[in-house]
Chain A
Amino acid sequence: ETGVTQTPRHLVMGMTNKKSLKCEQHLGHNAMYWYKQSAKKPLELMFVYSLEERVENNSVPSRFSPECPNSSHLFLHLHTLQPEDSALYLCASSSSYRAPFDSSYEQYFGPGTRLTVT
């Protein structure tokens, strides 16, 4: 399988549940990202990982907990979410964590996980 994959593609969870989103990249990249795309809202960069270390956390609430066990896998652990957290969560990878800020690099996005919090 090539590119960036995300599972599950759809997730419905209650506010007291704990769930995890998984992202896997098969591109040999060493930087991975979590983005949130809400309806009619700007795309938000949540977390940036480079070589399995977090280098960016854009003021994301602690109910979102990322984990990067190796350069190919990225998780987003979810607990006690709110209905306003319902959104499309996109994972991306690149050869450099600078990709969002540097035209020398491209980000490759996964298909996203559509999350609904009830």
Chain B
Amino acid sequence: AQTVTQSQPEMSVQEAETVTLSCTYDTSESDYYLFWYKQPPSRQMILVIRQEAYKQQNATENRFSVNFQKAAKSFSLKISDSQLGDAAMYFCACLISNFGNEKLTFGTGTRLTIIP
């Protein structure tokens, strides 16, 4: 079974500053994918960034980047130049895909507050 742990229930950051959200995971699979999702008050679940485990290069999407440490099973999200619209719940997730059976496991989430 795989697990995803987010040890920070809440985080806050000053607008325009940088914040890092932590995530660790555990899986016995060698082939998996990692995601960060954003859930704003509107309750949409937006996929922010995706990382394939076989890729060594850290994924980047505009102001969002990850620090993927495969050996340490760590997958943190860095948000640069924080904006008020970044305020949301952030979920880390791990997907394993095994012969067409896919298992997606989420962390408990981190609530990010942006201070104007």
B95 to chain A, nearest CB (A): 6
A residues in contact with B63, CB < 8 Å = none
Main secondary structure of the interface of B (DSSP, over half): strand
Assembled-state Cα–Cα distance A99/B95 (Å): 13
B21 to chain A, nearest CB (A): 15
Also in contact, A106 and B46, with CB within 8 A (given A43-B91, A101-B95): yes
Do A106 and B45 have beta carbons less than 8 Å apart?
yes
- Interface size on B, as a range, is 20 to 34
Do B108 and A101 have beta carbons less than 8 Å apart?
no
Assembled-state Cα–Cα distance A111/B109 (Å): 17
Chain A interface residue count, CB cutoff 8 Å, equals: 21
Also in contact, A41 and B108, with CB within 8 A (given A56-B102, A101-B102): yes
A-B CB proximity, top 10 nearest: A109-B43, A43-B106, A42-B106, A103-B47, A107-B45, A45-B104, A42-B108, A100-B104, A103-B50, A108-B44
Report B's interface with A, CB cutoff 8 A. Answer: 4, 33, 35, 39, 43-47, 49-50, 91, 93, 95, 102-109
